[in-house]
Amino acid sequence: MSVPVIAGLGTAQPPSALQDELWEGFFSRHFSGTTRSLAQRIFANSGVTRRQAAVNPLLEDVSDWPTERRMRRYQVEALPLGKEAVGRALTAAGLGAGDIGLFIVCSCTGYATPGLDILLARDLGMAADTQRMFVGHMGCYAALPGLGAASDFVTARGRPALLLCAELTSLHIQPSSARVDTQQIVSHALFSDAAVAAVVTPGGPGYALREVTSVTDTSTADHMTWDVTDAGFRMGLSPKVPQVLSRHVRKLVDDLLARHGVTGSEVDGWAVHPGGPRILNVVERELALPPEGLAASRATLDEHGNCSSPTVLLILDRLSRTTPAARRVVMLAFGPGLTLYAALLDRQD
């Protein structure tokens, strides 16, 4: 039986803006009173230098838009971004849209019916019998269960699968407020937009998907939330998230590696979702990683911010392009639940 392999990755991002420009040109006026000085410190310490926005607040303020208007704009912006990412992934894998047996779309920042899966399948010329799956509201870890579903399909059917993660967090800037709301400030300082596609094939060169696994601590379900409101989607992000991750991440990774006869020292690439600097610091400490172990994750946070579900795939793409020695890779992503997902990959030629 062929091992499922990530045979091609494709990325697409809207125009970028410097974090300092976003602060000076928009967010410094978005917050007032004592909240403003707190927000300035959070923006400065976010680990983000540049990030991308399909709807740039320097040019267009959506903070007072109703959810309906934001959802209409989501489809306008997400469709070409997704098409670009998918096209690049298919080219990298040497396949056409008609070769895809399963098309999975992950997104938690917008909804429409017909959805991106149907509209992109139409525009790209996928076969009428292509199966589709939409994964919504899983948040930042959604790429990994998406890869797991793609892997299962490829193993069972022997046909290629395609995963697209597309998020437009810029559509969900919340109305300004003088009230201190640290969770909103953090989300406004971190989040960014991106689309990343991955083609999974039965065998061939690329990153072989050995296993996808997870653990969910439902006792902390209120620590990370993403609520649909009349003013877009509103993030809830508890400062306790890093300590919850610290309780679970080591065992999750150790158990995954042990099932494959691998030790942490034999992993030469780490694609860890950068939920923020504190998240990366906790993972680095709990896994006893060397200082350079999370270099790709920190560089991605610096250059792209936290793009929710596409981010861990952005890091894998960076490793594949810049670190050819990274042949055994662990991917880690975290989100509502609180949920931790991990995947073990082996690069094969």
Report the C-alpha gap between 331 and 138 in whole angstroms: 16
Residue found by looking up tokens 């919340």 in the block: 174
117 and 178 Cβ atoms separated by less than 8 Å: no
Query: Got the DSSP string for 36-52?
Result: HHHHHHHHHTSS-SEEE
The 10 Å Cβ neighbour count of residue 227 is 9
SS3 75: helix
20 and 274 Cβ atoms separated by less than 8 Å: no
For residue 34 the two structure tokens come to: 């004592």
Nearest to 319 by CA among 284, 282, 294: 294
Report the C-alpha gap between 267 and 269 in whole angstroms: 6
φ/ψ of residue 344, rounded to 5: -110, 125
Question: Of 108, 140, 165, 307, which is the active-site residue?
Answer: 140
CA 173, 177, 178 angle in degrees (round to 5)? 150
For residue 295 the two structure tokens come to: 């270099």
CA dihedral 271, 274, 275, 279 (to 10 degrees): 90
Type of residue at 130:
T
338 and 244 Cβ atoms separated by less than 8 Å: yes
108 is catalytic: no
Contacts of 313 (CB under 8 A, 6+ apart): 9, 11, 143, 165, 196, 198
Which sequence positions are flagged as catalytic?
A: 140
